[in-house]
Amino acid sequence: MGRRLDDSDQRFDLADPIFLDTLSNLSGCTMHMNQNSQTAMCINIGWRERCKRFVLGVGMCALGIGLAVVLINVDAPRWWRLALFIPFWVGMLGLVQAFKSTCVVLAGSGVRHLDGGEEPIQDEILREQLRKRARGIYMTSTSIAVLLTLLSFVG
């Protein structure tokens, strides 16, 4: 039996396929289920957009690593390594957006691109959830980029 979610005096069974389908259609959220739990995941980019961000992220992280190797091997002044933050940040931003299926720019604009073109998000709750997720993506990307940049000073 699924967990129950109370909403005033109504009860919704989260294991009910009709409820899941209705919730997905109304909110723009996709339901992900595994054997332990069910969660609603609100997204604003589709598969193709995720792939673009993933490729950008891998490329920029590779660029950052390559630049770090060059700067270390040519004994460039250490402060030049601070510039590595930019490719690491862009790379991590792309990777985290791909993994979270959320574009921070689209979230800020209140639109989504689910591989069928951009469309406005009408639901204010969903827009706010996406904005909150975008802030988390910025924080995660920035934190990891700072860590990677600091690691370049070890070598």
| Same domain? 57 vs 38 | no
| Same domain? 27 vs 101 | no
Note the pLDDT tens digit of each residue in 32-83. Answer: 444 444 445 589 999 999 999 999 999 999 999 999 999 999 999 999 999 9
| Same domain? 56 vs 34 | no
**pLDDT value, residue 9:** 40
Structure tokens at 104: 């921070």
| Same domain? 8 vs 64 | no
**pLDDT value, residue 42:** 84
- Binned at pLDDT 50, 70 and 90, residue 7 comes out as very low
12 or 102: which carries more pLDDT confidence? 102
Strand partners, 13: 4
Q: What range does the domain containing 30 cover? A: 4-42
| Same domain? 53 vs 22 | no
DSSP codes joined into one string, 92-155: HHHHHHHHHT--HHHHHHTEEESSS-EEE---HHHHHHHHHHHHHHHHHHHHHHHHHHHHHTT-
DSSP conformational letter for 45: B
Residue 133 has pLDDT above 80, yes or no: yes
| Same domain? 51 vs 24 | no
Non-local (6+) Cβ contacts of 84 within 8 A are 64, 67, 68, 71, 148, 149, 152
Select from 95, 83, 17, 6 the least CA-distant residue to 56: 95
Question: What pTM was estimated for this model as a whole?
Answer: 0.73
| Same domain? 61 vs 130 | yes
| Same domain? 145 vs 69 | yes
| Domains of the chain: total | 2
Residue 140 has pLDDT above 90, yes or no: yes
The span from the CA of 76 to the CA of 42, in Å, is 45
Residue 19 has pLDDT above 50, yes or no: no
Residue 144 has pLDDT above 90, yes or no: yes
| Same domain? 68 vs 122 | yes
| Same domain? 33 vs 52 | no
Report the pLDDT averaged over residues 115-132. Answer: 93
| Same domain? 88 vs 33 | no
| Same domain? 61 vs 110 | yes
